[in-house]
Structure 1
Amino acid sequence: MSAPLSPGFVNGEVSFWYRSSGVPAPGERLDGDTRADVAVVGAGYTGLWTAYYLKKADPSLRVVVLEKEFAGFGASGRNGGWLTGALAGSPERYAKTHGADGARRLQRAMFESIDEVIRVAAEEGIDADIVKGGLLTVARGTAQALRLREELAGQREWGWGPEDVRLLSGDEMDDRLRVAGAVAATWTPHCARIQPAKLARGLAAAVRNLGVDVYEGTPVTSIAPGRAVTPYGTVRADHVLRCTEGFTAGIDGHHRDWLPMNSSLIVTEPLPPEVWDEIGWRGRELLGDMAHYYMYAQRTADDRIAFGGRGRPYLYGSRIDERGHTHAWTVDALWDLLVAFFPAVARSRVAHAWSGVLGVPRDWCSAVHLDPATGLGWAGGYTGHGVTTTNLAGRTLRDLVLRRDTGLTRMPWVDRRVRAWEPEPLRWLGVHSMYRLYRLADARESAGMTRTSVLARIADRITGH
């Protein structure tokens, strides 16, 4: 059915997270050539965390950040607000190069990064509506419950103890959150809710306060050893770090590095107390499920539900709808799923819809790299887990730039090399086939299948997910 829309419904305009403050106009842009020790391309979380930690480690460094729009314009200001400990990629793939211990160290570093973000936010006075309520993952149906238990068994093999994740009883599940049709659930404490734009803008302010020059409205057209080129001047630097995530395909020479995958969200009007009495959600946990075409959600600080999933997952030729407009059928599909999860929400309406892009490497695993010979570096490919992973990446890039030999620089994602995505039309066909098969698999499982549909396994093979 068509989603009911609020009279003031907004589609796009970056995201709902800017609705209360307004979308900021770009600040000062670069005006002529300049020199720096480090040039950071992109003022999202990765670029901002990298600049922050570099200046904290060595205040004498001249660090310049270049941003096409404004700090937090991309995924950093549009995501679902999950500060999650989930690994950005498969532990098995990281273990192939650094062994099981390496993959486990990376996972532990992810857990620790959640508290590091919370610590810095408190230290810098960044009010990002942070609540560390953990993550609740629900299974709706027999096939999903089987996958949930398989995932839990896999987490145990990779070092997740009972204190890291546990299966909830039915009563425990209902005490936390009442999801219609849920038959099983796990909970991990390693996740916190945030307001993404508040974190991005607060971090940008903290970086500026440290003396970093953040030039907004300054697109970088090309990157080469020793320089980042813009229409308004060239920044020459010993190190040039590409921190552009889903927008990487727009930079010369990087069109097929990471695939820009779309993700979409809707947010309800503020829900009245009687609706929350039916739903629960007092702990402000993050919510996910075990569907192949999965969802993600949070209870916002002003008592709405922000509910997301994949809409049109990929635009031909790695194009990006930069303003965040979401197709009507995606809004309707997300609304239908939201109401299926929480029937009481049918009394509300959709206040805002938006989309953003995340960066997906060919093997779906994140990486950090710095070439000491050229000074060129990059980090990204977070596959939707960037809120936490960017912090770990920023600290890792800091150590690589400063030539420190640390536990971070020895993590299995450092210097990880991945082949490029296929040329068109193979990219488009592969991604759309994958998600078409996932949708069909979910439909079959919802109709009563007791095991994972073979269609989902075929989809995984198509793109190496």
Structure 2
Amino acid sequence: MISLWMEQVSHYPVRPSLQHDLDVDVVIIGAGFTGLWTAYYLNQAQPELSIAILEAKQVGYGASGRNGGWLMGEIAGADDLLRPLAKEDRLASHHLIHDIPDEVARVCAHENIQCDLRKGGVLYCASRYPEQVENIHKQLAQHKQDDYSDDDFRWLNETQLQQQLKMDKAKGALYSPHVATIQPAKLAKGLAQVLEQKGVQIFENTPVKTWQSGQVTTAEHSVNAQWVVPAVEAYGSLLKPMDKYQLAVHSMIIATEPLSEEMWQSIGLDKGQAFSESSRLVSYGQRSADNRLVFGARGGYNFGGRLRPDVTLTEKEMAVRLYLMQECFPQLKDVKITHAWGGNLALPRRFHPHMLCDRKNRIALSGGYVGEGVGATNLAGRTLADLILNKDTLHTRQPWVLNNKPLSALRQWEPEPLRWITYKATNLMLIYEDKVLADLSSPKWKRKLVSKLCDILEGFLS
């Protein structure tokens, strides 16, 4: 099983693979959100362009069909990049990012794509221990320093939170309206259908073997193009030299059986809200359109950044997610888990996305979304389209854009075994921190010490 989402769209027909050599204006490697959105905005700007997408498996097979269904008006690491800018420029960038869910909604309405999109915002909850309240208030203070308003982020007290979400032990939440929930595989499949109707060619079961300036090759055929767009995210680990710059890590998610309306009244989430419990184990969830609770938590890493093709959760991986879900919602203790899956996503060394255009070699690429790619890919598609068409726009002037730069402008990851050792040490420390903080009898000195050590580890990684 790929995921709950992909199971629900399994009735879509399989497209043929590439059967002949091809000459096009733009060839895109990968039919996930980055590739699909790039093709969409290129076609919108210049419908006469010939565009081909080569997909190794099927549309949405990678992270685009395996995520938690959060369509975020946020970009990982954006605040650090925007902080040095003038206030006027920073606010313009804030608006650009926050508008992502609305832009996707506009496209879906215009193109009649049904993907269960509901913009109910997100609740970053302070729940299992008091440090979560402190951390959220620190985040809120930083947001105010970065010129966000109460319309962007605001504190909800316990009573206000209960009106939206009844998470056990929750003391409040940081609320932002700039997040929607979706069925991501429906968005990917719907977008692909729209592209084909507009003349974009999509070839499934067509893995790319090599790529270079002006040409992409498969096992039997080649595609010559004016522009090459590798849109492969974590699967860049299979395409040299991209394996040096994007590290494959794994998300892990479970979904319950459809819950009764009585059960949902005990939980909330009646307006399409996303939610997260604010520990470093990064738990997150949403209520699906068919009334399941979809719940994920911090993922994993294989030595050497090896991919997990179809992720079957181990007993231990299942147990962690069940524990966190039932800590948040004890009433789900006896509920059946019908789906469990994982996906590969890309972690860049600078821990923020990159949108790069090598004009000399006519290569454009984007990736490194750090698990927030459902929304970020839409912005990436608009940005890559503008870069390819040599437009000077607000999209192309953002600090995460590397215009007229080679692939080597990205920072490389350290070699193994350093990555593996660091990951294992960090993961063990974060699990230990959560155990200490969740035990309210832990002494104050111990709580402070373990949190400080985790701060140091996270700082070392960045």
2:356 is matched with: 369
1:90 to 1:58, Cα distance in 2 relative to 1, 3 A: closer
Pairing partner for 1:249 from 237, 257, 264: 237
User: In the TM superposition, what whole-angstrom CA distance separates every residue of 1:29-70 from its partner, at most 9, and x where no partner exists?
Assistant: 112221111111111000000001111111110011111001
Quick check: 2:157–2:171 contact (8 Å CA) kept in 1? no
Report the equivalent of 1:190: 178
The offset of 1:189, in angstroms, is 0.8
Say whether the 8 Å CA contact 1:95–1:101 is kept in structure 2. no
Give identity over the alignment, percent. 35
* Deviation at residue 86 of structure 1 after TM alignment: 2.1
Q: Decide whether the 8 Å contact of 1:95 with 1:102 is kept in 2.
A: no
Q: 1:367 Cα shift? A: 0.8
- Given that 2:345 and 2:371 are in contact with CA atoms closer than 8 Å, whether structure 1 keeps it comes out as yes
- Distance, in Å, in 2 between the alignment partners of 1:66 and 1:94 is 34
Q: Residue 123 and residue 90 in structure 1: after superposition, are their counterparts in 2 closer, same or farther (change >3 A)? A: closer
In structure 2, the CA distance between the partners of 1:259 and 1:105, relative to structure 1 (3 Å rule), is farther
The structure-2 alpha-carbon separation of the partners of 1:230 and 1:103, relative to structure 1 and needing over 3 Å to count, comes to farther
Amino acid at match of 1:250: L
Answering whether residue 77 of structure 2 is matched by residue 89 of structure 1, we say: yes
1:353 to 340, 364, 377: 340
350-359 vs 424-433, which moves further: 424-433
1: CA distance, partners of 2:10 / 2:289? 17
Distance between the aligned counterparts of 2:2 and 2:172, measured in 1? 35
Would you say 1:203 and 2:201 are equivalent positions?
A: no
Shift of 1:388: 0.8
Q: Note the C-alpha offset of 1:209.
A: 0.9
Residue pairs, 1:17-96, within 5 angstroms: 17-22=5-10, 26-95=14-83
Q: Partner letter of residue 390 of structure 2?
A: R
Equivalent of 1:130 in 117, 134, 146: 117
Please show how residues 302-321 of structure 1 align to structure 2 within 5 Å: 302-311=290-299, 313-321=300-308
Question: Which residue of 2 is the match for residue 430 of structure 1?
Answer: 422
Most deviating of 450-459 and 315-324: 450-459
Does the C-alpha gap of structure 1 residues 435 and 94 become closer, same or farther in structure 2, counting only changes over 3 Å? farther
Give 1:457's match in structure 2, choosing from 455, 458, 461.
455
CA spacing shift, 1:32–1:99, aligned 2, 3 Å: farther
Contact 1:249 1:259 in 2 (8 A): yes
Q: Is the 8 A contact 2:283 2:297 kept in 1?
A: yes
Tell me which residue corresponds to 2:327.
Answer: 340
CA distance in 1, matches of 2:50, 2:10: 31
Which residue of structure 2 aligns with residue 403 of structure 1? 390
Q: Provide the residue aligned with 1:14 in structure 2.
A: 2
Deviation at 1:309? 0.9
Q: Which runs of 5+ in 1 are unaligned?
A: 1-12
Corresponding position of 1:4: none
Higher mean C-alpha displacement, 427-436 vs 46-55: 427-436
SS in 2 for 1:236: strand
4+ runs of 1 displaced by more than 6 Å?
Answer: none
Moved more, 125-134 or 14-23: 14-23
- Is residue 115–residue 182 contact of structure 2 (8 Å, CA) maintained in 1? yes
- CA–CA separation in structure 1 for the residues paired with 2:427 and 2:65: 25
How far has the Cα of 1:215 moved from its partner? 0.9
Could you list the runs of 5+ residues in structure 2 that have no partner in the other structure? Answer: 404-408
Partner of 1:447: 439
Residue 381 (structure 1) aligned with residue 373 (structure 2)? no
- Give the whole-Å Cα distance in 1 for the aligned partners of 2:296 and 2:91: 29
Whole-Å Cα distance in 2 between the matches of residues 102 and 246 of structure 1?
A: 31
- The question of whether the paired residues in 1 share the 8 Å contact of 2:72 and 2:100 is answered with no
Q: Is the 8 A contact 1:292 1:456 kept in 2?
A: no
C-alpha displacement of 1:20? 2.9
Amino acid at match of 2:378: N
Q: TM-score, normalised by structure 2?
A: 0.94
Cα RMSD for the two superposed structures: 1.7
2:103 aligned counterpart, secondary structure: helix
- The two structures have a TM-score, normalised by structure 1, of 0.93
The range that moved more, 74-83 or 437-446, is 437-446
Q: Which has the higher mean CA deviation after the structures are superposed, 138-147 or 103-112?
A: 103-112
Distance 1:434-1:107 versus aligned 2 partners, 3 A rule: farther
Counterpart AA for 1:257: Y
Asked if the contact 1:180–1:340 (Cα under 8 Å) also holds between the matched residues in 2, the reply is yes
Give the whole-Å Cα distance in 1 for the aligned partners of 2:434 and 2:11. Answer: 37
Alignment partner, residue 377 of structure 2: 390
Q: Which has the higher contact order (CA 8 A, sep 6+)?
A: 1
Following the alignment from structure 1 to structure 2, what is the Cα–Cα distance between the partners of residues 234 and 94?
Answer: 41
Q: Summarize the Cα distance change of 1:86–1:126 in structure 2 as closer, same or farther, 3 Å threshold.
A: same
| 8 A contact 1:47–1:394 mirrored in 2 | yes
Give, as a single letter, the amino acid of the residue that structure 2 aligns with 1:378: L
What is the match of residue 281 of structure 1? 269
Deviation at 1:447, TM superposition (A): 2.2
C-alpha contact 1:440 1:455 (8 A) present in aligned 2: no
Deviation at 1:169, TM superposition (A): 1.9
Name the count of aligned residue pairs: 450
Deviation at 1:272, TM superposition (A): 1.2
| Alpha-carbon distance in structure 2 between the residues aligned to 1:114 and 1:268 | 26
Cα offset for 1:103? 4.8
Letter in 2 for 1:399: D
